[in-house]
A and B are shown apart, each in its own frame.
Chain A
Amino acid sequence: MSQKDRPLSPHLQVYRPQLTSMLSILHRLTGVALAVGTLLLVYWLAAAAAGPESFESAQGLIGSFFGQLFLFGWTYALFYHLCNGIRHLYWDAGFGFELPEVYKTGWAVVAVSGVLTIASWVLGYAMAGGA
């Protein structure tokens, strides 16, 4: 059996992890996470519609330690999927397929999604402190 040199199709188990594939997987992962995370949005809106008591308890739940932890992950997933989604739309329009640019936009997505997540939480804590 001397078939070792045959080309392999891309597969998770034989491919070395690299930025491009990791970001692609993360895009799908955050998409599914956000789909599940819509439950939080629906819960929050329905609690507000149900009246002051249920809204306060929803606010308390979301404001708890685990609530905030969950919401932080939710915020990052949203900004990551948003930024990488713009990268996908850029590709769909026919731009940015050269490998150096693929890496450049990939790192830009990592940086911008991180900055936007931190910025919105800084704004949130500033408002909570000032209120």
Chain B
Amino acid sequence: MSLRSPLGRVRGLGSAKSGTEHWWAQRLTALALIPLCLWFVASIAAMVGADYATMRAWVDSPLVAGLLILLILATFYHAYLGVQVVIEDYVHYEPLKIAALLCVAGLSILLGVIAVLSVLLLLFGG
């Protein structure tokens, strides 16, 4: 006799495997990226030609640093979900597909961590 509930046994076993989470996460991150990207491009365009001190002064605020970190997290999550679908659509050789998916996942996390750490260094560093 299994101690697992009927629902627990079937969860994740359908043809869609993980249900609607992927689709929903892609839409939520897309929604978040609309204001974040508009804010970022406007800020950058207004800082063209700025020197190091101006850039430091810009990031040296919890609001700007916080928005940058949100932008980074939403960007890499959204980018990963998108590239994952592209790989799944075009790479049909299973070992290569899994390797490519792992590479993209690892790169997304690595680049995201570097970017977030850079923002934190700019905010808290000397």
Contacts and interface: CB of A to CB of B under 8 A. Distances in A.
A128 B59 CA distance: 19
A35 B79 contact: yes
Interface in B108-126: 111, 114-115, 117-119, 121-122, 125
Interface of A (DSSP majority class) = helix
Nearest to A53: B52
Interface of A: 28, 31-32, 34-35, 38-39, 41-42, 45-46, 48-49, 52, 55-56, 63, 75, 78-79, 82, 85-86, 88-89, 92, 120-121, 123-125, 127-128, 131
Contacts, number: 89
**Chain B interface residue bracket vs A:** 35 or more
Contacts of B3: none
B118 A49 contact: yes
A45 B115 contact: yes
Contacts of A48: 52, 55-56, 59, 118, 122
Interface in B44-97: 44-52, 55-56, 59, 68, 72, 75-76, 79, 82-83, 86
Contacts of A79: 41
20 contacts: A28-B86, A31-B82, A31-B86, A34-B79, A35-B82, A42-B111, A48-B118, A49-B118, A49-B119, A49-B122, A75-B41, A82-B37, A88-B30, A121-B45, A123-B46, A127-B45, A127-B47, A127-B49, A131-B48, A131-B49
